Amino acid sequence: MEKFGVGQGVRREEDPRLLKGKGLFVNDVNIPNQAYAIILRSPHAHAEIKSIDISQALKAKGVIGIYTGKDIAEDKLGVPGMPAKWLRPDGQPMKYRPQPPLALGRVRYVGDPVALIIADTIDQAKDGAELIDVDYDPLASITDTEQTILDGVPLVWDDYPDNVSGQFEKGDLDSVSLAFKKASHIVKRKFKISRVFAQYMEPRGAIGVYDASEQRFTLYADVQYPHRVRQLLAEKIFSIPEQDIRVVSRDVGGGFGTKGWQYAEHRLVLWASKRIGRPIKWSCERSEAVQADEHGRDNITEAELAFDSDGKITGLKVDTIANIGAYLSAIRNLLAVSLSLGGLIGVYEVPSAYVRVRTVHSNSNPTAPYRGAGRPEATYVIERMLDEAARELNIDPIELRRRNIIPSENMPVNTALGQNYDCGQFLENQEKVLEMANYKEFINRQEEASTRGKLRGIGIANPIEEAASPIPDFSEIRFATDGSATVLMGTKSQGQGHETIYKQIISERLGLAPEEVRVIDGDTDRVAFGMGTMGSRSTVVGGSALFYAADKIIDKAKIIAANLLEASISDIEFANGKFFVIGTDQEIALKEVAKASFIPAKLPEGTDPGLYESSTFLPSDSTYPNGSHVSEVEIDPDTGVVDLVGYWVVDDVGIMINPTIVKGQIHGGIAQGVGQILMEQVCYDKDSGQLLSGSFMDYAMPRADNFVSIDVSSNEVPTFRNPLGVKGAGEAGTVGAMPSLMNAILDALAPIGVTNIEMPVTSERVWSAINKARLNYQ
């Protein structure tokens, strides 16, 4: 039997249930007497609502009720709130623009909710929606991020003269200005980072239940932070005690940040359930999802790197326009563009840095964290800049990185943008991945490809990310009278393998077999507290809380074991799930101690019966997963098709609880990064603002034949910021994939004169760029 503990690549405990169709997603949950909801959404990017006629729709068979923004306003539901106190570039306070659950007076993007239709069946609700007559007066719209700040463009909000919502700055501008004055060489580039959508396996859903007898709400929803959703709903929306709302999140089907917090539909199903006296179920259809959900990325960045005469970086300056969409509803709409800016430093010695981000409104869906939450964007900028600088300085891109990488002996390091790297072997990562990729022989592979008429390129990126930020999380271990244990976690799995990871930690610490442990998360009535899952934090923070809860179990059980073994507590040791008396053959299993803990006669005086302990862990600082990625591509110049022919990774996520799960997370993250570079993009018509990529017919996603076997190796450098030595792995793959692949593509195209290409790098764009370069060359 394979060992089931820390460091073992055991198979995931969840998989048999999920692969056999036994998962319990929101759409699998049904409540007796439930009604069904449909959201009527705006077909316009920007329009005044002159009138809404629901009279015919109310007569339709099965329709129970139809509600508009006016009904919501009359009940005075609250809004999420905005703790950030940013200023605009002119010094005026940033305006808070929360999205109403149903539009009031004006719609501001295609998909903006306009009416809620409730009926006995889903088809009846759809029929009712078809009969609603909305009289729109279309207005000019703006969806292109780069154009939002230009003079004379349409305004999303009439009192914002330039569509600029707010401004965030970080770093020392005076220091950077001095460095640029003294620089021997300055490299300046502009990068567009496209808008994308999560496209999870299971679209969102919500069921709202109001129990009049208890005067209590229950929300079933696929959210990543159940306790925080409960807090927001209670405190900000309904103004009731938290105990009067229960949030239940079971199988999620992928979240990637987009299912993180509180959507309008959550409020609507709860509000409507109380209004009509029946449970309300809303299920987002795949064709609705891109209109209904938050999007990710969508930045325009101008970056400058200053170098001395030896090719050492002396300063970094970055100016970003970040498209946050039509509304600013909560702090999460700002997180990806502000908290992860430190990643712009990368793994390099950058003595001075300054970054400014201007958030802009547009007639598009609000943006929020999406796998990496700003770290892929930041890493993309610094790693692309290093390749561009290498070309201008006529230095090999690997050598330029070697000259600037932070040496491991310099750790810990305080960066110019305020981060504290506690550990890492950045240069070792790079050298190892180059060896894996057989980098020295690349020129031979390039020449061989040329004989076949193909262009071959190789690219590298050395990502680092700030993960597991210092906010607390909770774990509880409860033993039952038969000696089995239940683990309750404040984190929330969306498919990452939490159940397996936590069982491995318990098995390592307490010696229990996996079948003796049950893991529960996602239910605010069962789990006392939790901050949920995001930012590669679950194993780091939740796992550490579990580690310390296990310590408390051992401490109490040792007292009981000493009494059972008739020995002094000081003579009792614990190992491999057993307590034993030092120097003797007397021993007792923890499971037997747990059973005895419920029998008062077997307890020492003053010991409370039962064996259950909890712990809340608060990290002292963030962790910094890092690594090195190499991509290799071949391009057919006649068709523009890009083939990924090699991918190698060395990743440092700290100590790996389960190497197999880590590798799966790296693979999944790479897939999302590769998808964004090669094909994924949320597109709007620039003239009408109409969404052009609302289904899989138009929004391309990578398939197996777009990939090559990904070779992943690990360099485990433990952090001492948590007892497990872990750093987080959920987003690492995406952070490195985007820049390494784009660097490889441009390396392949450089010999024929292509110097820039925007993502997604479709075959049409590549073909056009090649032919344009050839014309210029002639």
pLDDT digit string, tens, across residues 622-639: 999 999 999 999 999 999
Residue 136 has pLDDT above 50, yes or no: yes
Mean pLDDT across 72-85:
92
From 471, 509, 503, 510, select the one nearest 489 (Cα to Cα). 503
Mean pLDDT across 681-693:
96
Mean pLDDT across 39-59:
98
pLDDT digit string, tens, across residues 531-544: 999 889 999 999 99
- 375-393 and 397-404 are packed helices; what angle lies between their axes, rounded to 10 degrees? 110
**Which residues lie across from 489 on neighbouring strands?**
475
Reported as a pLDDT band with limits 50, 70 and 90, residue 465 is very high
Reported as a pLDDT band with limits 50, 70 and 90, residue 327 is very high
Question: Which pLDDT score, from 0 to 100, does residue 57 have?
Answer: 98
Question: Which pLDDT score, from 0 to 100, does residue 775 have?
Answer: 80
Burial (Cβ within 10 Å: 0-12, 13-18, ≥19) of residue 235: middle
Residues 119 and 128 sit within 8 Å (Cβ to Cβ): yes
Question: Buried b vs exposed e over 75-88: b needs ≥16 C-beta within 10 Å?
Answer: eebebbebeeebeb
Residue 425 has pLDDT above 60, yes or no: yes
Residues 253 and 182 sit within 8 Å (Cβ to Cβ): no
Q: Where are the alpha helices (DSSP H) in 195-331?
A: 226-232, 264-276, 286-292
Run of H or E including 455: strand 455-461
| Pairwise CA distance, residues 693 & 291, whole Å | 10
pLDDT digit string, tens, across residues 173-194: 999 999 999 999 999 999 999 9
Reported as a pLDDT band with limits 50, 70 and 90, residue 222 is very high
Question: Which pLDDT score, from 0 to 100, does residue 262 have?
Answer: 82
Residues 194 and 759 sit within 8 Å (Cβ to Cβ): yes
- 426-436 and 397-404 are packed helices; what angle lies between their axes, rounded to 10 degrees? 160
pTM of structure: 0.96
| Pairwise CA distance, residues 508 & 499, whole Å | 14
Question: Which pLDDT score, from 0 to 100, does residue 148 have?
Answer: 96
Question: Running DSSP on this structure, what letter comes out for residue 115?
Answer: E
Residue 74 has pLDDT above 50, yes or no: yes
Give the tokens for residue 753: 């004169």
Question: Which pLDDT score, from 0 to 100, does residue 1 have?
Answer: 43
Q: What percent of the chain has pLDDT over 90?
A: 94
Whether a cis peptide bond, with omega within 30° of 0, leads into 412 is yes
